[in-house]
Structure 1
């Protein structure tokens, strides 16, 4: 049978809140309801949505699904593990009023249905301890934090088993160590900080994916840091030394004589730390001073006489 990624079907992230899931279902149900939708596959999509929502709307069923879903892709071949035994039949957790008619074999293989067809389990529901599922979230840091490392405090909504054995969401504050030189897209693993285990099982891990905050003038290209550097015409023409900002502080850069706008220069090892470290890529942008005074206009006219040129000659004009 095929694996069903219920999060993908509903278009929500794995760490979506229950309110986000409800909102997504309402929006898509209106779009694909067979009585009103003109989509060719409306009825099929509507049933698929109903199946996904039946699982994700309930924290306990969602936690059970997450236990089995880690590492699987939507549509891939799937066989439930032989020891999977969670009882969602009436009187043992039960469905919350959803009509499961027409749901997929995948759904039936994991949860059974309230018609009595289900995988056998003990009266307690779980056949033994189950480890908590891994959780994923994004963390936004500045380029300066990526360069220097440090600690960032993050607040996350995480599932927790309360005293009555119910799965609830609770806001937890964590102090996260940011390694020097960490790149966008890399993940920080926090062992045991993911979903709670059930029946004495160990907690899953929490993976925080790095995202960079926008910067005023830097942007990252892997381990390299790119910068557009404004220079004057005389600095470019004469090949003067200019001061350049980097994440590690100011440095001097000697421009090649007769530098042109758009020319790229490289500051070796001035990007993000690492083995090897990244570079800083500097793109020159020549800024032309305004001819705001009589003297400035006269100087421009003199330059035109001394250094006549047609920068559009290659265009044939």
Structure 2
């Protein structure tokens, strides 16, 4: 298989010295422009949307960006020298796929360079200070005798302690919920006393509408018990990733809707993206910037407590005018008795 080098900086239209804020702004601008819901008649939009998400996935992450910058077009000669994910932190490490799409959302180049990051949806990672079976959470191995997690030897079986991790979800995943597979990379001690990295897959049932900070409990998937004791539980704290179009205010989803001045003045029917697919929305005549319209039940939250989507009008003026257009605007200004200012 031939894998082509991709210039992620060129895809986002930024320089190699661009800061995180500039990269983020460029990504949001392009993601809005090429979002499939807003370009349903353009078959290339989805492809372009995935490419800019792939580029942002790398350039927003300092470690991935450093690796990408160091290898560049010569990535094929250096990709085998990266450390396996999970060894740098000690204990356990969750890994999973692309943050915006399911399998297939990332190119062969991305998967080859970063180890198949498009393979399974969201990801979870242990928070700093997590401690599994006595293996210290600070990057080294702690007291091998304290497998019960209490710091010392205790006779008889004892239950393992609970573990806490962060589960990153896209806004779409949080809205829809459902089963999700995450891969757990488990650092253990082999028979020869050296550290080894194994993997296992866990299935997580995500409640539809789960909000930022919500917790999901996986029974028996925490720290192992001592001497045959029952394992503790694993608690996943939900972190919802930033979205190109939507913002969150508790359970409500906010969308800024650009309108032309004549659409705002005369009213219009426009296509509006939601987490449940695009819908047709009637814009009342005389709508000013800042006006909010509600799409009930299109936000986050459990059954009976689901938030709404708030569509906020943002009137935008044409950046330039032809002579004919300017003449028409001047005629409108001459006959209009409307004044936006009362002072």
State the TM-score, normalizing by the size of structure 2.
0.55
Pair 1:15-2:43 in alignment: no
Cα RMSD of the aligned pairs, angstroms, is 3.0
- Provide the secondary structure at the position in 2 that maps to 1:21: coil
User: Which residue in 1 is equivalent to 2:239?
Assistant: 211
Q: Partners of 2:291 and 2:263 in 1: how far apart?
A: 13
Give the length in aligned residue pairs: 214
Distance 1:166 1:130, change over 3 A: farther
SS class of match (2:138): helix
**Unmatched runs of 5 consecutive residues or more in structure 1:** 1-11, 23-55, 69-85, 87-124
**Structure 2 unaligned residues grouped into runs of 5+:** 1-126
Q: 1:158, 1:194 within 8 Å by CA — same for their partners in 2?
A: no
2:259 aligned residue: 231
Instruction: Note closer, same or farther for the CA distance 1:167–1:60 as it changes in structure 2 (3 Å cut).
Output: farther
* Equivalent residue number for residue 304 of structure 1: 333
Change (3 A) 1:163 1:197: farther
Residue aligning to 1:150: 178
Q: Which residue of 2 aligns with 1:185?
A: 213
CA distance in 2, matches of 1:19, 1:306: 76
2:257 alignment partner, SS class? strand
Question: How much has 1:245 moved relative to structure 2?
Answer: 1.0
Q: Which one has the largest radius of gyration?
A: 1
Write the distance in 2 (CA, Å) between the matches of 1:59 and 1:167: 14
> What do the CA deviations read for 1:216-252 (whole angstroms, capped 9, x no partner)?
1112222221111111112211222222111111222
SS at structure 2 position matched to 1:235: helix
Aligned partner (choices 168, 175, 178) of residue 140 of structure 1: 168
Alpha-carbon contact 2:211-2:301 (below 8 Å) kept:
no
CA contact (8 A) 1:193 1:205 kept: yes
Instruction: State the SS of the aligned residue for 1:246.
Output: coil
Deviates more, 1:160-169 or 1:293-302: 160-169
Q: Judging changes above 3 Å, is the alpha-carbon distance between structure 1 residues 305 and 19 closer, same or farther for their aligned structure 2 residues?
A: farther
Match of 1:60 in 2: 144
Distance 1:133 1:169, change over 3 A: farther
User: TM-score, structure 1 length as denominator?
Assistant: 0.59
**Preserved CA contact (<8 Å) 1:59 1:167:** no
